[in-house]
A and B are shown apart, each in its own frame.
Chain A
């Protein structure tokens, strides 16, 4: 492989010469991107799609924060406000975070385990291409008469059944499509990891990103069908006269919540386990030390995944359960903090006495560790049943899950992007701009979400377009933080575009001195086809 972006899935420069014999990159847009079976191209598609969704969902968040900048109704109808919160949540969860992880999995897993591609390349393409269609269905609803989904991303019955807009059927089928896509994606990941490892790549040699994804994929296959089941019940309750969630027919709206959260809690781990893998790759690199406690990381991930099936009703402490059940779910939830604590401990122990440097991936990783831990602590507070009676459905919950999702999942995705962009594009990102991106994001994310804890403790309810006067000042600050965070992400957009267009320094095969793993043993950008014959792992 010579240098150049000829083999580079992300760079589309025409000025590069294409001659490498083994580098059969299809010509033409359709052949290259639509009919593709190449895991790197599909990974890039996922990542770009996810970023587009992140900006779309982000724009909705800006709308929400603009309305909440002042008390009273300024800009939006309450119904439209509800649509914004709902679609914002759905897009961020299913459109931004999950596809980003699948994109990273596509790009990195085959490369990391020494496989030529994903195990089922055509299905891989199908998984991706379902997503743009699914999200067009979802976004289409916003322009329909009666509006889009307005019942919260959790679509609790009867809000989603009795009181929902006509477009609900579109929402339901959009969720079905996303589910199909995720399940196929997850099957591909598991099969790839189990069956396509290079000779000598034993399970306990797998990079942790691969391990965490293996477990995530299992969670996906286990719970996405349950989500499909529950949206189907919503569909039949609304349109076909069933009464799963209607007590008059013998059903129970609380049953909705049980089924939803049986999916929903594992889902939040789906959105964080791959992050754990990313952080476990980055921290050792920039500490120039092997990861502390590899095996315990694997077991911790597995126990988190196992426990995640036993804690769902911590979202339902206030909705009616026998006391024994409340206690059971409380204790199980608190148990999860043990394996999570193991992880945080291991990351810190990895840094301990390492020779640390603070390139942007590392900055994001460290911010992740600190801020995710804050989110974990607020989660523990919420796990305490009597305390949750107070906090439930307030901004405290909003603060909690944004700490774990934005400064957790999203920060880890940013860290991963900076870490692997040189490998993907063959160019170093602009370190100066990236530092700006990091510091602006770090400061604004805390201005945005930290005060929400206090709003929640003081009793401000979530999902309401208006609020009592005493919350005005804090909300104004929060909104300013929000706008700042939103703008900061545009810096990231610039950085990525610069890399993709080949502006910047050429990246070496291993741009990070302390990095380990098969992905660094190939040139940057990674050739279009890698590991066509499996490498020998010692």
Chain B
């Protein structure tokens, strides 16, 4: 066997790797997820509204778990128990988590592309599907945005000018402010860090507010809803899941902000900050793809 690649970092470690002792948080998390899943499923599945309380309870348990678990991690980290190798584990773990998120969005983008380039044109008779068109919905005209479905639901398409454009700009700026915070953290300029991070959180909130406005507008004035055919489906699921990620990202950044206020993070060691900022940049990139493929094109 030859030894070709990756010798670099397998040779340098001598420090002992920190293996945490037992923890109750994983099982609390598992119970929380179970309650959430069970509550949501029974509620959605027609079991009755009382199950929404199970969902709620599950969420409370999860929040409790997050506090406890991250609390432990922060304490351990602050007391210097994490070696450089441990830090790499966290970084790599976070990167792979983001990769999995990308793949999740890819499923929905895939659905969008498939529908636009294959499903809808075929329903309109493209390719060798003349008879599909003739037999199923002869009056249907293939077009995108799909404002009239084969079944006859009509809706309107969301223009990209206005709120979506504003939101794009907001997220782009937020990426810059966050980067500003990051650079200054590495330089040890804490006031600038607070400023940059605070602004980013604020921009995140504004984004979410505008997004909510856009949804209200869509539902009340444009007749664009989750159930108005494939255009509405892809629109709301893509922007909706993105919105959820922005919400989560904003919360993460807010927590980081509080931690900066408490004096956490050093120029050399700030994986938590790094992870939060990676997450935020990822969410931004997803939005750019959304803006191009859902709104403009």
Contact = CB atoms under 8 A, between A and B. Distances in A.
Interface of A: 26, 31, 34-37, 115-117, 119-123, 125-126, 129-130, 133-134, 136-137, 166-170, 172-174, 176-177, 180, 183, 186-188, 190-191, 194-205, 221-226, 228-230, 232-233, 235-236, 239-244, 247-252, 254-255, 258-259, 262, 294-295, 322, 529, 532-534
Given A37-B20, A173-B40, A243-B149, A196 B89 contact: yes
A252 B226 contact: no
Contacts of B45: 166-170, 239
Given A126-B26, A195-B92, A241-B226, A172 B233 contact: no
Contacts of B89: 119-120, 191, 195-196
Interface stretch (B7-15, B177-185, B197-205, B211-219): B7-15
A241 B114 CA distance: 20
Contacts of B33: 130, 133, 177, 180
Contacts of A250: 115, 119-120, 123, 146, 149-150, 229-231
A272 to B, nearest CB: 21
26 contacts: A37-B20, A37-B21, A129-B27, A133-B31, A134-B37, A167-B45, A169-B45, A170-B38, A176-B37, A177-B37, A191-B92, A194-B92, A198-B10, A202-B3, A202-B4, A204-B2, A225-B101, A225-B107, A226-B106, A233-B108, A244-B111, A249-B230, A250-B146, A251-B115, A251-B233, A252-B114
Contacts of B37: 133-134, 137, 170, 173-174, 176-177
A173 B151 contact: no
A126 B69 CA distance: 11
Contacts of A174: 37
B237 interface: yes
Residue of B41, B120, B123 most packed against chain A (CB within 10 A): B41
Contacts of B136: 247
Residue of A121, A177, A186 most packed against chain B (CB within 10 A): A121
Contacts of B106: 225-226, 229
The 6 closest A-B pairs by CB, nearest first: A229-B107, A241-B227, A248-B151, A250-B230, A35-B22, A126-B26
A205 B44 contact: no
Nearest to B90: A120
Contacts of A226: 103-104, 106-107, 110
B85 to A, nearest CB: 6
A246 to B, nearest CB: 8
Contact of A125 (B6, B27, B100): B27
A236 B101 CA distance: 19
B169 interface: no
A221 B96 CA distance: 7
Given A133-B33, A225-B107, A255-B119, A121 B20 contact: yes
A206 B97 CA distance: 24
Contact of A203 (B4, B29, B42, B99): B4
Contacts of B26: 35, 122-123, 125-126, 129
B285 to A, nearest CB: 16
Interface in B75-105: 85, 88-90, 92-93, 96-97, 99-101, 103-104
A369 to B, nearest CB: 22
Contacts, number: 254
Contacts of A236: 226, 233, 237
B24 A169 contact: no
Contacts of A255: 111, 114-115, 118-119
Contacts of B232: 242
Nearest to A217: B96
B253 to A, nearest CB: 22
Contacts of B226: 236, 240-242
Interface string B109-148: 0110011001110110001100000001100000000100
B2 A199 contact: no
Given A37-B22, A130-B34, A250-B123, 11 more contacts: A122-B69, A125-B27, A130-B33, A133-B30, A202-B10, A203-B5, A203-B6, A229-B111, A243-B149, A243-B227, A244-B233
A255 B151 CA distance: 18
Contact of B5 (A117, A196, A204): A204
Given A242-B233, A251-B233, A532 B16 contact: yes
Residue of B12, B19, B229 most packed against chain A (CB within 10 A): B19
Nearest to A113: B10
B153 interface: yes
A117 B18 CA distance: 9
A406 to B, nearest CB: 29
A304 B139 CA distance: 46
A204 B10 CA distance: 12
B25 interface: yes
A228 B102 CA distance: 12
Contacts of B149: 243, 248-250
Given A116-B17, A244-B111, A255-B114, A322 B127 contact: yes
B6 A202 contact: yes
B1 interface: yes
